[in-house]
Amino acid sequence: MNPSQFRVLRQKGTEPPGFSEGTAGELEYELKKKLGTKYPKTGVYTCVGCKTPLYYATSKFDSGCGWPAFYEGVPGAIKEVVDADGRRVEILCNNCGGHLGHVFKGEGFPTPTNERHCVNGICLKYEPST
């Protein structure tokens, strides 16, 4: 884990909007460079803290929010905790407790769950299926 990843995963930081797509070496920038798309149809996103699979590639969608967005986690992989102010729901890796981002529900996105897991790209690593 590098210092930027540590700041998000372990200290609940947030990467700037557009960071993942606009920064060389980051998740979405590299996906576009290597695969030509931020939305590969196969594979899985794993936790950079512990390598646990967190999101299937098929659950990633375009939310336009500036962070990678998914409509559901791998079953059992994501832990949800209401923020101290009661307004937002934090999402964490259920295995290592790493902070991932927040989940928003009922926003009306045309996805099967009507949920948006807004995840810091820095927390995720893409693993193509073999």
- Name residue 53's beta-bridge partners: 46
Q: Which helix (H) or strand (E) holds 104?
A: strand 99-105
The answer to whether residues 58 and 44 touch, using CB atoms and an 8 Å cutoff, is no
- Helix or strand (DSSP H, E) at 21: helix 19-22
* Position 47 contacts Zn ion (CB under 5 A): yes
Residue 74 is a binding residue for Zn ion (CB under 5 A)? no
Q: How far apart are CA 28 and CA 25, in angstroms?
A: 9
Nearer to Zn ion, 47 or 57 (CB): 47
Question: Could you say whether residue 73 binds Zn ion (CB under 5 A)?
Answer: no
Contacts of residue 114, defined as CB under 8 A and 6 or more positions apart, other chains included, come to: 71, 105, 106, 107, 108
35 binds Zn ion (CB under 5 A): no
Interaction of residue 50 with Zn ion, rule CB under 5 A: yes
Stretch that binds Zn ion, among 14-22, 29-37, 47-55, 100-108 (CB under 5 A): 47-55
Structure tokens that stand for 100 in this block: 């991932």
Residue 68 binding Zn ion, by CB under 5 A: no
The residue among 35 and 96 lying less far from Zn ion, judged by its C-beta, is 96
Nearer to Zn ion, 62 or 79 (CB): 79
Structure tokens at 53: 């699979």
The yes or no reply on residue 27 touching Zn ion (CB under 5 A) is: no
What does the binding site for Zn ion look like in residue numbers (CB under 5 A)?
47, 49-50, 52, 93, 95-96, 98
Q: Report, as residue numbers or ranges, the catalytic residues.
A: 118
